[in-house]
Amino acid sequence: MKLKEIYEYLDKISPFETAEPWDNCGLQVGSFNEEIERICLTLDVDEALIKNLEPKTLIIAHHPLIFKGLSSFNLNLYPSNLIAKMVKKEISLVAMHTNVDKSHLNRYVCEEVLGFEVKSQEDFIITFNFDGTLKEIAQIIKDRFKMKTLRVSDAGVRIEKVALTTGSGGDLIGKIDAQLFLTGDLKYHQAFEAISNKISLIDIGHYESERFFPEALLKDLKKLPLKVIMSNSKNPFNYI
């Protein structure tokens, strides 16, 4: 199957034009004329993934490997070293980032992972109802995300409505209309902003909340006449 045909299908299920202007989605490595034999869904591209993939594989990754313009192509440094290995091995890459956040990932995490019904969605922000305490919903998140600990900021308000943005959503705090915001990569001063706005926070991690990307797209990709495999990079952070 031609990469162009796959790309057109991806554009239908999650239009690339809906990605944010600062984002870099779409075809990053390869040619639309390339013949693809299999697809690999993954959160990130790393050396271990490239090593284990067969030629003529299309990687569909959530995070773009090429995010900003390359000023040089140094084969000893990231990401040029990975791109060179992919080209040599005839592996192509399409990135589906903020477009999939809006079309698939946030909703999938809310409904299929956490088990809550989506009440509303506006761009990256999903909301759902929850009547309970911060401690109660924190335990649900730990169970569903398989996390032993959570970093929280308690505004001292009872929760009735929860907002969710996977990945890094701290800059959205000013737009949150809920008593609790779940997102990752939260910063120190963002916690002060949230508490002042009477919003509690739970940091659900960037990797931890987005590692469901392959699962979120698998159902749609199974409709293609190609073998689809799921993989995932390892979390670059460890806890000791």
Q: Where are the beta strands (DSSP E) in the chain?
A: 26-29, 38-42, 57-61, 92-95, 120-122, 125-132, 151-153, 159-168, 180-184, 200-203, 227-230
**52, 86, 95, 159, 202 from 192: Cα distances, Å:** 45, 44, 34, 18, 13
pLDDT tens for 96-124 read 999 999 999 999 999 999 999 999 999 99
- Looking at residue 139, its pLDDT comes to 98
Q: With contact defined as beta carbons under 8 Å apart, do 162 and 187 qualify?
A: no
Beta carbons of 210 and 43 less than 8 angstroms apart: yes
All structural domains of the chain with their residue ranges: 3-96+212-230, 100-203
Q: Is the pLDDT of residue 9 over 90?
A: yes
Q: pLDDT over 70 for what percent of the chain? A: 100
Are 208 and 167 contacting, i.e. CB atoms less than 8 angstroms apart? no
pLDDT at 69: 79
Residue 239 or residue 198, greater confidence: 198
Q: Which CATH number fits domain 100-203: 3.40.1390.30, 3.40.605.10, 1.20.140.10, 3.40.50.460?
A: 3.40.1390.30
**Per-residue pLDDT for 213 more than 90?**
yes
Q: Which of 76, 97, 77, 102 is nearest to 28 (CA)?
A: 97
Average pLDDT for residues 225-231, to the nearest whole number?
Answer: 97
Is the confidence at residue 199, as pLDDT, over 90? yes
Confidence check: pLDDT of 238 > 90:
no
What whole-number distance in Å separates Cα of residue 159 and Cα of residue 66?
40
Task: Name which residue leads in pLDDT, 240 or 187.
Answer: 187
Task: Give the helix ranges, DSSP H, for the chain.
Answer: 3-13, 47-52, 80-88, 98-100, 106-108, 134-145, 188-196, 206-210, 213-221
pLDDT value at position 21? 96
Q: Which pTM was predicted?
A: 0.95
CATH class given for the domain over 3-96+212-230: alpha beta
Residue type, position 89, single letter: K
What is the phi-psi region of residue 59: left when phi exceeds 0, alpha when psi lies from -120 to 50, beta otherwise? beta
Report, as an integer, the average pLDDT of 220-231.
97
Given this model, what pLDDT does residue 240 score? 80
User: Which phi and psi (to 5°) does residue 136 adopt?
Assistant: -65, -45
CATH topology identical between 3-96+212-230 and 100-203: yes
Looking at residue 71, its pLDDT comes to: 84
